[in-house]
Amino acid sequence: MKVFLIGASKSQAEQMIAEDTIHQIDLDGQIIALVRQKDEFFAFQSTCPHRGASLLRGDLDAGIIRCSLHGYSFDLKSGEVQLGLCSALETYSVELTEEGLKISVPNE
């Protein structure tokens, strides 16, 4: 497991990640998506598990992302498919700490 730190403090991380926006984050060459909704952060694969469209252009709802290509939707926390038939979205553990936002991704 690799752990990445976004920002140098809790408040800096909160300032860097605007609410209800899909951010593209490069973690040593692995591109992931990061979303903040109120006080919750969600990190997940940036491509759709259905046919690989970019989820950076997806639509956000409360705790849900909807792919812009065929409209499949996924739970941001669990990655579970809400609408559509495909594998689940890969999600990553996120923790807001005093040192910044920690994102844990499995080793490839």
Interface contacts to ligand FES, rule CB under 6 A: 48, 50-51, 53, 67, 69-70, 72, 84
Residue 73 Cα to chain centre, angstroms = 13
Q: How far is the CB of 48 from ligand FES (least distance, A)?
A: 3
Indicate the residue among 13 and 47 with the shorter CB distance to ligand FES. 47
Sorted by sequence, the CB contacts under 8 Å of residue 27 that are 6+ apart come out as: 2, 4, 103, 105
Indicate the residue among 5 and 56 with the shorter CB distance to ligand FES. 56
Q: What's the one-letter identity of residue 77?
A: K
Cα separation, 51 vs 17, whole angstroms: 27
Q: How far is the CB of 46 from ligand FES (least distance, A)?
A: 12
Indicate the residue among 18 and 83 with the shorter CB distance to ligand FES. 83
For tokens 């491509």, name the residue: 47
Among candidate residues 22, 23, 27, the one with its CA nearest the CA of residue 66 = 22
Q: How far is the CB of 73 from ligand FES (least distance, A)?
A: 8
